[in-house]
Structure 1
Amino acid sequence: MQPFQQSIPSGRRQRILVLALGACATAGLIAPGEAAAAAPAYRVRTLATGLENPRGLTIAPNGNLVLSEAGRGGTSDCILAGSGNTLCYGTTGALGLFDRSTNVYSRALANLPSMAVQSSPLFPEGTGLQDLAFNGSGQLFGVFGFGADPTLIPGAGSTLFGQTVAIDLAAGSLTPLADIAGFEAALNPDGKDLNSNPFALVVRGGDTYVTDAGGNSLVKADGANQVSLVNVFEEELVTTPPLPFPLPPKFPAQAVPTGMTIGPDGALYITQLSGFPFAPGSADVFRYDFINPVTTLAGGFSNLIDIAAGPDDSLYLLQYSDDFWGPPSGSILKLGLDGSVRRIFDDLVSPTGLAVGQDGTIYVANDGDGVNGELLALTPVPTPGPLPLLGVGVAFAQARRLRRRS
């Protein structure tokens, strides 16, 4: 299954966005519990624009941001993708760096393999360098997506598609490591159509875990780059949403695993897009403790595309859209390990990448299905708490004294 099957027009957005803090009367009447449960406000800054199919987003050990751009493809070596669209090859992919000390975004690596739809001026459905992750020693790794029958890779312009790579920024080089797409081609673990689209990776010790959104699987590549199966995400019967064409009331949807992160408890958490017909509320968050089978932590989400662990021991979820078939309506949700969920930010447009800094700043690759992508920073805005009752009493007493004097 290919996660990006439809290009959604972006439109204009306000650049300074503040979430409502919830209904309240006066500050002195807000109960402490209600103040704690209110959604935070965020100040939104645009750090970079003109990103070409931005995908994975991570934070370097020095605090700078590292972003993958899948690129706009090119005009040679065209293939038929799993979405039914034709993607063509070019060397327009990139790895971008945002330096927080200078506030400058630059492409540290360019001319990387890329495929995208060429019949649209937005060059949507880009596939290339898909995700990035650092290991505990500060070594950067990446994974290239594909989104089609992996046996087509030899004619797709680059053998890097479907593989994990080690990235040396100083030397400007990539070293191929594990062949994730080759594993799908050889074993096809879910037994469905041959399709490989490595989507996200997490490095844990000497092992690299990769979600294959096309193969509906979670795989592990060991230190010798040998790939093994961890889990197959089975398709589920979903309620068919309103569509412009007829389908049965219930339809089998492929799972389509997407983003991953190591949670505050040390377990691996995985998001689910949920495939065609993209029924709202059909996406889950899965948990894997590296010992027992994968379990479901929470459900009822729509089109989850990424996940990040925050400094507050919560998981932050990125929804590509609340309704895949409706207007773009990306959002960020906060998920507790107890299963509690809060929506904390709306008004995103087809977002594709998420990271959370130690100071609580949320970074988002927004408008990610095309070449007008942007990198946003959402900084929490401190909100005043309720006026202490003691302070109110002192104020009234002072007012009475002033009246007496006058």
Structure 2
Amino acid sequence: MSLRRIVPVGFLAAALVVVGAPAASATTGAEGKPSVTVIAKRLDNPRGIAVGWHGQLYVAEAGKGGAGPCVSSPEDPEAQVCLGLSGAVTALSPHHRGKWKQKRVVKGLPSVAETDGSFALGLHDIAPVHPGFLLGTIGLGGTPEVRASLGPNARLLGHLVGMRLKRHGSDVKPIADLAAYEAANNPVGEIDSNPYGLLATPFGAYATDAGGNDLLRVDKRGNISTVAIFPDRPVTVPNLPPDFPMQAVPTTVTRGPDGALYVGQLTGFPFPVGAANVYRIVPGQQPEVFLSGFTNIIDIAFDRWGRLLVLQITKNGITSGDPTGALIRVDLKSGQRTELAAGKLTFPGGVAIGHDGSIYVTNKSVLPGAGEVLRIRA
């Protein structure tokens, strides 16, 4: 399930209004309020963000599509999506006086979008493995047949990839075809693969498939196995039959202080407010609900004090027409939930914790050329 599929078209107009308004690029942290600073701009659909060595940040840019080939959208038969090699990885390096150097260190990754370039499918998440080598998940939002119809430049869609950084350029190679695995195994419902969240480990990686509604493990040889399946959940909302089946749409995975895996869900249609869960997963056991009551989770992370940060792409729900996102910090000892940087987030896409405890969030994550990275000190 892709962002274009799950977010109403009217949201784009609302987001553009927000983007066109004067932005508070920096606010002071007086009276205990967090400071929020824009440290990167002009990104194309920025999604996941990760902290590397020496404080460097890596940002996954899903791109903005391109000139084609174009095909009928697998999610909207009346629309076309076009392929381009506009996906990228941007590195941000601390500089003097609070400035950050911004450079695209990987270019030419496949990206699929409609003509306006918004809500692109492409590089969704990123994870440094060791200096000079990154893992990434590249989305698809469909089947291997849809991928094939876009031609050879689309071959990395639906994959876990490895990216080796060089002094001049980079090498990108496929590691595991998660879309083909979905087609062969199809744990829940229709065949639909959209690799999204990513966690690197010394033994391989874990990835969430937001289309396949599962958590996958990829070992160092590229072998794929299913760790957990997230079935549809019945919900009751106005104007729909009772116990309407809502898809899980897992978007993020991380490891907790206790060593278990934690997965956040966006939820699917009808996107009820407060219906998103954070699941705790021990491989070999069924997922259990760890925390509930969130809305449209797009990423999660634990800070160095063991508190859980939950990033919601929308605060008031996808169907609200409000593009305002929310970052919720949960104190797991007391259960207290605190919203950070309230009113500063527009369609946020990813969250990471710096070595000094700073919080980094990708903002305006579904827009081409308008994406940002925010530094939050709370």
Give the structure-1-normalised TM-score: 0.82
- 2:39 is aligned, of 44, 47, 54, to 47
Question: Which consecutive residues of structure 1, in runs of 5 or more, have no partner in the other structure?
Answer: 22-39, 381-406
Q: Which whole-Å CA distance do the structure 2 matches of 1:51 and 1:332 have between them? A: 20
Q: CA deviation at 1:234?
A: 1.0
Q: CA deviation at 1:19?
A: 8.3
Where does residue 175 of structure 2 map in the other structure?
A: 177
Where does residue 128 of structure 1 map in the other structure?
A: 122
Q: Aligned AA for 1:288?
A: I
Say if 1:264 and 1:314, in contact at 8 Å, map to a contact too: no
- 1:166 is aligned, of 158, 162, 168, to 162
Q: CA deviation at 1:288?
A: 1.5
RMSD between aligned alpha carbons? 2.0
Q: CA deviation at 1:283?
A: 0.3
Q: CA deviation at 1:239?
A: 3.2
Q: Aligned AA for 2:282?
A: D
Where does residue 105 of structure 2 map in the other structure?
A: 108
1:244-289 Cα offsets, whole Å, 9 max, x none, are xx53355221000001111222221110000011110110001113
Where does residue 25 of structure 2 map in the other structure?
A: 15
Question: Which consecutive residues of structure 2, in runs of 5 or more, have no partner in the other structure?
Answer: none
Q: CA deviation at 1:140?
A: 1.6
Give the structure-2-normalised TM-score: 0.88
Q: Which whole-Å CA distance do the structure 2 matches of 1:250 and 1:317 have between them? A: 27
Q: Report the more deviating stretch, 337-346 or 109-118.
A: 337-346
Q: Which whole-Å CA distance do the structure 2 matches of 1:19 and 1:273 have between them? A: 30
Where does residue 262 of structure 2 map in the other structure?
A: 269
**Of the two, which has the highest radius of gyration?**
1
From the superposition, tell whether residues 337 and 156 of structure 1 become closer, same or farther in structure 2 (CA, over 3 Å): farther
Q: Which whole-Å CA distance do the structure 1 matches of 2:51 and 2:246 have between them? A: 33
Q: Match of 2:183, SS?
A: helix
- 1:320 is aligned, of 313, 328, 352, to 313
Where does residue 66 of structure 2 map in the other structure?
A: 74
Where does residue 234 of structure 1 map in the other structure?
A: 231
Q: CA deviation at 1:63?
A: 1.0
Q: Match of 2:301, SS?
A: strand
Q: Match of 2:240, SS?
A: coil
Q: Which whole-Å CA distance do the structure 1 matches of 2:72 and 2:357 have between them? A: 41
Q: Report the more deviating stretch, 338-347 or 356-365.
A: 338-347
- 2:55 is aligned, of 63, 73, 77, to 63
From the superposition, tell whether residues 337 and 180 of structure 1 become closer, same or farther in structure 2 (CA, over 3 Å): farther
From the superposition, tell whether residues 19 and 117 of structure 1 become closer, same or farther in structure 2 (CA, over 3 Å): farther
Say if 1:61 and 1:138, in contact at 8 Å, map to a contact too: no
Where does residue 326 of structure 2 map in the other structure?
A: 331
Q: Report the more deviating stretch, 333-342 or 200-209.
A: 333-342
Where does residue 153 of structure 1 map in the other structure?
A: 147
Q: Aligned AA for 2:146?
A: L
Q: CA deviation at 1:53?
A: 0.8
Q: Aligned AA for 2:308?
A: L
1:293-342 Cα offsets, whole Å, 9 max, x none, are 32110111100000112111111110000221221120101124455433
Aligned length: 354
Say if 1:150 and 1:194, in contact at 8 Å, map to a contact too: no
